[in-house]
């Protein structure tokens, strides 16, 4: 399925940076395999939050006192860090949001309402999270546009021939994920973008599951919008980034009105602020934006190549072990994946599997993973999903496998 990999990282030293990992759950050492939902936070990120609140808690941009200037400096340094992290040409192309959900809704409303009309077509894929489905459904309902879906193959990969056939002069926007949250499939995102541009469409990429694992260069990809969530890349919850090409962002009307996104307000009219502040109405999530910079530094210091190599080693090891358990069926067998594996056990409900693993200290995700249409396509109600981060170990995989074997032996007739 994937090329075997080995790792040279000092995993124990990395684990020592994550306070939450050093605890017992139900009397057993915690094994945390729910990283695709949210991963844990290194102490440097937690310390950054504490430093802000303990040392320079103040609102940003408009204050002239020392604390406000310090807070503004730290906040804007994160914008610079995210510009480098994503490979954006301009710092003004980095918009802070709560996460991918808000980013997609921002584009669906600000871009979609202005540039998508009755009879136009929006293409998404059958691999999408609900957050990259529902906003486009709402847009199409408002505007009278048509929503089309790229089919998914049995392997969990996109049918690229079908995608090309869907493209037409009416296609105005394509919105797809870089990596599937349910299956770990890495989509051929550059190929998707190129084909969409040839048809005259703009492209939004949901990078929530890619940010901590895959190299991202928005300039090389030539995507029009790219969005990430901090909580899936070792940063706090409630903070994320929308990248947009400057020319597009300039044309888009604001998504929200209020303070910060204005230059001048009278009761007769309002003049909007320049980028990026036009899309950052109200007091932002200052502390978590500041801490996001530390998460980026954590990833950069390890290197995404080393992270991917380690996680791929875990994935290959897990797949090999799962295939030895009677009744286990792998869901999602794409040729190119990140460290995510979904599976079901014949005759045992996925919720029961998750609960029984929890009694042994093993945290996995069960259910439809906010991808109900994908589950229906694959013929399952839901799955058990194990997802890996840089701090996970092969010994932890052994604990997962041992737990699954006990469950199968106990419940099977």
- CB-CB contact of 316 with 336 (8 Å): no
> Which pair of structure tokens corresponds to residue 193?
């973008």
Query: Cis before residue 276, ω within 30 degrees of 0?
Result: yes
Query: What are residue 387's DSSP bridge partners?
Result: 34, 340
Q: Decide if 104 contacts 131 (C-beta within 8 A).
A: yes
List C-alpha distances in Å: 269 to 263, 273, 274: 11, 13, 16
Q: Is 31 helix (H, G, I), strand (E, B) or coil?
A: strand
Q: What residue spans of 11-65 are helical by DSSP H?
A: 11-15, 43-55
**Beta-carbon contacts of residue 376 (< 8 Å; ≥ 6 apart):** none
Number of other residues whose CB lies within 10 A of the CB of residue 43: 15
Compute how many other C-beta atoms are within 10 angstroms of the C-beta atom of residue 167.
18
Active site residue 370: yes
Q: Which two tokens stand for residue 154?
A: 């049995």
Dist. CA 82–CA 300, nearest whole Å:
11
402 CB-near residues (< 8 Å, 6+ apart): none
Is the distance from CB of 366 to CB of 379 less than 8 angstroms? no
Pick the closest to residue 279 from 55, 106, 109 (CA basis): 106
Question: If you write DSSP's letter for every residue of 226-279 in order, what string do you get?
Answer: EEEEGGGTTS-TT-EEEEE-HHHHHHSPPSS-SSSSEEEE-SS-EEEPPTTGGG
CA distances in angstroms from 248 to 115, 252, 331, listed in the order given: 11, 6, 38
Q: What is the CA radius of gyration of the chain?
A: 22
Which residues lie closer than 8 Å to 138 by C-beta, 6 or more apart? 108
| Paired sense of beta strands 202-206 and 146-150, if any | unpaired
Task: Exactly one of 140, 223, 227, 370 is catalytic; name it.
Answer: 370
**Residues designated as active site:** 370
């Amino acid at each position: 399925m994937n090329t075997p990999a080995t790792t040279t990282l000092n995993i124990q030293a990395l684990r020592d940076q994550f306070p939450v990992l050093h605890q017992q759950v139900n009397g057993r050492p915690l094994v945390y395999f729910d990283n695709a939902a949210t991963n844990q936070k290194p102490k440097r990120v937690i310390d950054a939050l504490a430093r802000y609140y303990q040392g320079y808690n103040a609102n940003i941009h408009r204050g002239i006192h020392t604390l406000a200037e310090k807070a503004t400096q730290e906040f804007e340094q994160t914008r610079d860090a995210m510009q480098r992290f994503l490979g954006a040409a301009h710092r003004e192309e980095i918009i802070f949001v709560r996460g991918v959900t808000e980013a997609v809704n921002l584009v669906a409303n600000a871009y979609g309402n202005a540039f998508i009309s009755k009879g136009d077509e929006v293409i998404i894929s059958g691999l999408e999270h609900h957050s990259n489905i529902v906003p486009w459904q709402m847009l199409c309902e408002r505007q009278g546009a048509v929503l089309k879906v790229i089919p998914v193959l049995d392997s969990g990969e996109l049918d690229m021939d079908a995608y090309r056939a869907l493209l037409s002069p009416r296609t105005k926007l394509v919105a797809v994920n870089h990596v599937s949250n349910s299956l770990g499939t890495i989509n051929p995102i550059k190929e998707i973008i190129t084909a969409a541009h040839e048809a005259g469409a703009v492209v939004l990429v949901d990078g929530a599951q890619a940010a901590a694992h895959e190299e991202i260069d928005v300039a090389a990809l030539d995507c029009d919008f790219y969005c990430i969530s901090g909580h899936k890349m070792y940063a706090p919850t409630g903070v994320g980034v929308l990248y947009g090409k400057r020319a597009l962002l300039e044309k888009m009307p604001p998504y929200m009105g209020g303070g910060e996104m204005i230059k001048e307000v009278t009761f007769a009219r309002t003049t909007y602020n320049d980028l990026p502040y036009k899309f950052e109405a109200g007091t932002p999530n200052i502390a978590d934006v500041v801490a996001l910079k530390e998460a980026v530094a954590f990833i950069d210091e390890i290197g995404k190549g080393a992270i991917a190599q380690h996680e791929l080693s875990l994935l290959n090891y897990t797949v090999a072990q799962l295939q030895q358990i009677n009744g286990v069926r792998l869901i999602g067998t794409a040729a190119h994946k990140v460290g995510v594996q979904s599976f079901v056990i014949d005759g045992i409900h996925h919720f029961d599997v998750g609960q029984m693993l929890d009694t042994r200290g093993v945290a996995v995700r069960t259910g439809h993973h906010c991808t109900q249409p994908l589950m229906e396509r694959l013929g399952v109600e839901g799955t058990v999903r194990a997802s890996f981060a840089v701090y996970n170990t092969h010994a932890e995989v052994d604990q997962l496998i041992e737990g699954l074997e006990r469950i199968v032996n106990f419940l099977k007739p």
